[in-house]
Homo-oligomer: A and B are copies of this chain.
């Protein structure tokens, strides 16, 4: 039952958050890929692995990010086949804006909870992150 309830809660969370993201004018896939670039430039292969999508899909998402000026292409001197994507200043600004909106919405929601609920959430967040990671990791087997 815990598993089922986790799923439902995650679904609702994402749906509410997606509503906030919509007004950024950038689709969810691009937004998510862009946020991966926060931790530094990444090859398309690395992005595809992080986002768990096919090479074809990440290629198009990358093309979209470049076309809209949110990322740029950086050639790899040691391998002419691959190139890395790097955030532009505009990309960084957009991610900041989106993050502020998301956090504002989530914090407003968390404020509606009782202090006990907040306490329970705070002490479970580490476990929740680890659980989420386990689910993601298990993709190939399950």
**A binding-site residues for B, Cβ under 8 Å:** 2-17, 19-20, 32, 52, 99, 101-110, 112-113, 116-118, 120-139, 142
Contact = CB atoms under 8 A, between A and B. Distances in A.
Contact of A9 (B12, B108, B116, B128): B128
B12 A133 contact: yes
Nearest to A127: B117
Given A105-B138, A134-B113, A125 B13 contact: no
A139 B2 contact: no
Contacts of A103: 3-4
A90 B99 CA distance: 41
Given A3-B103, A112-B134, A128-B128, 17 more contacts: A3-B105, A4-B99, A4-B102, A5-B128, A5-B129, A6-B121, A6-B125, A7-B106, A9-B125, A9-B129, A10-B132, A13-B131, A112-B130, A113-B131, A121-B128, A123-B124, A124-B128
Contacts of A131: 9, 13, 106, 109-110, 113, 117, 121
